[in-house]
Amino acid sequence: MGHGWKLTNYRTRIDIASLYQIEQFTNLTGGVQAAVDRIRELELCLAQQSQSIEDSGTNILSAITNSALSSGEDHERTRNTVVETASTLQETSAVNYQETLRQATSLGYRSPHEITMTEIELIRAATEQQVKELREEIRQLKLEIERSVQQIVASVGKVSASEQQRLKETSNAKFNVWVAKEIVLKNLLEILRIFKSQIGDGVAAFESATWKMQPYPTIKPFRSTTETQPCPDIEPETKMRSPDIVGPLSEDPDRGSNIAYAEALQIIRRNSCVFDLYKFNLESDRFFDNVFRCCSPGFRYQCAQILLKAGAKPTYKSLIEALQCREGDAVSLLGDWTTTENLTRNSHHLAGGRKSQSDSERFSQLLRCCDSHELSELVYLLNKCPELINEQIEGALSLTVAAQSANADVVAILSLYGSPLVCTEDIHKSPLLVAIDRLNLEMACTMIDYHSSPLEPGWEWPALTSLADKNFKAPAQSIDYIIEQIGILHGLRLAIEHRHERLIRFMLWRFKLKSPDTGSAEVLEMAVQSGICREYAEHVKGYVEENTGLVEVADSPVPVFRTCSRRRSDGQIGMRVLNLARR
């Protein structure tokens, strides 16, 4: 009984536990079902969103397709419109052209002269085509001529005389062809000018015009070369009181409008208190040079014209200075001067025998070629007129102009054709000194190489001083070559005679040691043998003591300078020279 109650009690508990678990499982099943339902809802939402995205993409694609189709249709409509417009314009132009042609025919424009006008147009077209071809051929010929000239210059001293003569003949033949083509071209251009002036439509009015813009101020010509100009009537007390007044230039309209004339008179009045230009000694060398040098560079050309009209005589130096300033077309200025007067061998003025107009023009052309790089024109001119550079003064002037302009090719050509090399101490007259002063030493070496006869004395001292002042800017090989032409000992002797310290140091430093291959001794030993070094030793001793405060120790067997020197090089030079001199 008791056991039966216990079993019943246990069964009841088990049933209760089972019911509890069943209830728990039932609740769990409901939660799982709710989760599953939520997941299904999410899947449904995702499906709806995906469908919405697909619908949006389809709509966008449709919109793009429709827009492209619409743009294509618009483009096609635009193209059709353009084609229709072009066709309409062509039809309109054709109609207008036909109408114009009918009107011209009705007016008799083509009826009487149709054949003549057609032939003239054909001739003009053919002439223009021939002009184009000729200009191209002339351009090619100029290039060939320049190459021939360069080949001639480069072959000097390297080929035989016959080969060099053959090169010259070839170059001359090319020049003859070039000249012939230039003449033909000139005739064709004249024919075209006649066409334009006679049957042209008058549109290109300025193409054949000969006007030229004048520089400011306008230069008005004088009335006569021999006419005496009246002097301004000025009281004597006014002359002394107002030397700077320009004066009543309005009395002469030509001179009153010329600024250069006013400036030239102003300079003269400031220096002399006299108003009359013609009371000066116009034949004096210094008169033209002083006025020309004081005048502003912009008015030198006009001032020179005024002074030349008044009868002043420029010197050779004035010519070169005018070229150096390169203001107011200096080369043309030289040409004007040489056209008026002739350079002579016996006078440094421009007075002398007059040249003919053609000779003066050719010499002016030669000067312009020397100042520029027109090698072909220069060689042609020298072949045609070799006498232009045979004279001493004319040849030296042309070579000096080329040296001033630093044209190495022009210098080589002039030297090859025998331009004289004037060796003088005046730097304005010697092309060799001009080249050295401008540090164109290779050009100077070219002049020396082509000069067959020995160089005349007088140029050594200016050349040495120029080299000593500018030795650090010049190539060493060219310096050595030029000094070899002067002579080592002669250059050192000149430096000692003129007491030129810089040149002495330059000579000793430049030729301190000679190459052992030549077998020559050291330069100071050569100086000792000739007696120059003894003279220089005493000079250096006095110079060192005077400029550095060093005093030679008399009891020392070797020349020793005591105290410290700021210029140790002078002391070292003095010690070395004294050692050599006292051997």
End-of-domain residue from the set 164, 199, 234: 199
Cβ neighbours for 346, distance < 8 A, ≥ 6 positions apart: 352
At residue 467's C-alpha, the angle toward residues 463 and 473, to 5°, is 145
Residue 363 lies in a domain: no
Per-residue exposure over 464-479, b if at least 16 CB sit within 10 Å of its own CB, e if not:
bbbbbeebeebeeebb
Beta bridge partners, 552, equal 561
Q: Are residues 95 and 130 in the same domain?
A: no
- Per the listing, tokens 């005493």 go with 538
Residue 389 lies in a domain: no
Q: Are residues 90 and 1 in the same domain?
A: yes
- Separation CA 396–CA 388 (nearest Å): 11
Which residues constitute the domain of residue 43?
A: 1-106
Q: Are residues 6 and 38 in the same domain?
A: yes
End-of-domain residue from the set 199, 224, 254: 199
pLDDT tens by residue, the chain, 583 residues: 555 666 677 777 777 777 777 777 777 777 777 788 888 888 888 888 888 888 887 888 787 887 778 777 877 887 787 777 777 766 666 666 667 666 655 555 445 556 667 777 788 888 888 888 888 888 888 888 888 888 887 887 788 888 888 888 888 888 878 888 888 888 888 877 777 665 544 434 333 434 343 343 333 333 333 333 433 333 333 333 333 323 333 333 333 334 445 555 555 555 443 334 444 555 555 666 667 666 666 666 666 777 766 666 665 556 656 655 555 454 455 455 544 454 433 333 333 344 454 566 666 667 777 766 677 777 777 777 776 666 555 666 676 777 766 667 777 777 777 776 665 555 555 777 777 766 667 777 777 766 656 666 667 777 777 777 665 555 666 777 777 777 766 777 777 777 777 777 777 666 554 444 443 445 455 555 555 555 555 555 555 555 555 444 444 443 443 433 434 444 454 555 445 444 4
Q: Are residues 85 and 130 in the same domain?
A: no
Nearest Cα neighbor of 289 from 272, 257, 312 is 312
Q: Are residues 102 and 4 in the same domain?
A: yes
Residue 210 lies in a domain: no
Question: In degrees rounded to 5, what are phi and psi of residue 524?
Answer: -70, -35
Residue 480 lies in a domain: no
Q: Are residues 11 and 102 in the same domain?
A: yes
Residue 66 lies in a domain: yes
- Separation CA 396–CA 404 (nearest Å): 12
Q: Are residues 14 and 84 in the same domain?
A: yes
End-of-domain residue from the set 167, 184, 199: 199
Question: In degrees rounded to 5, what are phi and psi of residue 85?
Answer: -65, -45
Provide the pLDDT for residue 518. 40
Cβ neighbours for 433, distance < 8 A, ≥ 6 positions apart: 424, 426, 427, 459, 462, 463, 466
Residue 510 lies in a domain: yes
Contacts by residues 449-456 (CB-CB < 8 Å, ≥ 24 positions apart): 449/157, 449/415, 450/156, 450/412, 450/415, 450/416, 451/415, 451/421, 455/421, 455/423, 455/485, 456/423, 456/424
Residue 87 lies in a domain: yes
Q: Are residues 131 and 89 in the same domain?
A: no
The number of distinct structural domains making up the chain is 3
Cβ neighbours for 309, distance < 8 A, ≥ 6 positions apart: 222, 225
Provide the pLDDT for residue 496. 72
Q: Are residues 97 and 127 in the same domain?
A: no
- Separation CA 196–CA 202 (nearest Å): 8
Provide the pLDDT for residue 156. 75
Nearest Cα neighbor of 414 from 466, 454, 470, 375 is 375
- Per the listing, tokens 């006008």 go with 117
Provide the pLDDT for residue 70. 77
Q: Are residues 194 and 127 in the same domain?
A: yes
Q: Are residues 92 and 128 in the same domain?
A: no
Cβ contact 338:367 at 8 Å: yes
Residue 175 lies in a domain: yes
Q: Are residues 159 and 62 in the same domain?
A: no
Burial classification of residue 443, based on how many CB atoms lie within 10 Å of its CB (0-12 exposed, 13-18 middle, 19 or more buried): buried
